[in-house]
Amino acid sequence: MFRGNDILKVYDENFNYIAKATREEVHAKGLLHQVAHVWMLQEKTDGLYILVQQRSPRRELYPGKYDLLQSTHFDPDESYEEGIVRSLDYYLGVKASTDDIVHLGSVRQRIDLDDYHDNALAQIFAITVKKAIFLMPETEEIFKVRYSDFSRFMHGKLDKIDMYSLDDILLRQSTPDEWWLRKEEFFDAVEPYADARAEKLIR
């Protein structure tokens, strides 16, 4: 499940559906496909947090780096939201419904690394939780950061950011070189949405 033999939809440059291919073929040839990026927010009495994962050292891209909580491909016959619900449950043990997921926009993602080519239209989503409790069979570890700090970190106004455990214990500080900083999607899609949620918490 969720590996090289997965079947994905392939599109032309005008984003017309043209074929199906395995995930392995998609990344070997750099075929245009879709992926979902899921940013999870936690609302607490002391403000808004972003939950992040440490990528496995076995991942093809950015092994061991801190990253958004979840990304997933879609089965050909499922909606974005259905794919996210399925992936969150499988990878993190998160029980969500399609109604919990908010679509924030999309960005083009192009990565070429040796024989690995990621040519994707990334659909950006947010999901907000009150509690952060996970099973993590495919993830090294999950942390959280204060959203206000993370925004400043992404804009280059902080050179270190505090990393917290899911039970609010300050664990360490992290520097930008330890992250896969997805700045384009954060600035264009995630930040405006998170700013609005953070503002509501203050009122």
Per-residue confidence band for 2, with pLDDT thresholds at 50, 70 and 90: very low
Q: Where are the alpha helices (DSSP H) in 34-178?
A: 80-92, 147-154
Q: What is the model's pLDDT at position 31?
A: 97
Six-digit token string for 21: 């291919």
Rounded (10°) CA dihedral 118, 122, 124, 130: -40
Tell me how far apart the alpha carbons of residues 11 and 19 are, in angstroms, rounded to a whole number. Answer: 7
**Average pLDDT value for the chain:** 88
Per-residue confidence band for 112, with pLDDT thresholds at 50, 70 and 90: very high
- Residue by residue, what is the 3-state secondary structure of 20-31? EEEHHHHHHHCC
Contact 15, 33 (CB under 8 A): no
Kindly give the pairing relationship between strand 70-73 and strand 32-44: antiparallel
For residue range 163-175, what is the model confidence (pLDDT) as tens digits?
999 889 999 999 9
Tell me how far apart the alpha carbons of residues 108 and 182 are, in angstroms, rounded to a whole number. Answer: 12
For residue range 61-70, what is the model confidence (pLDDT) as tens digits?
899 999 998 8
Q: What is the model's pLDDT at position 1?
A: 36
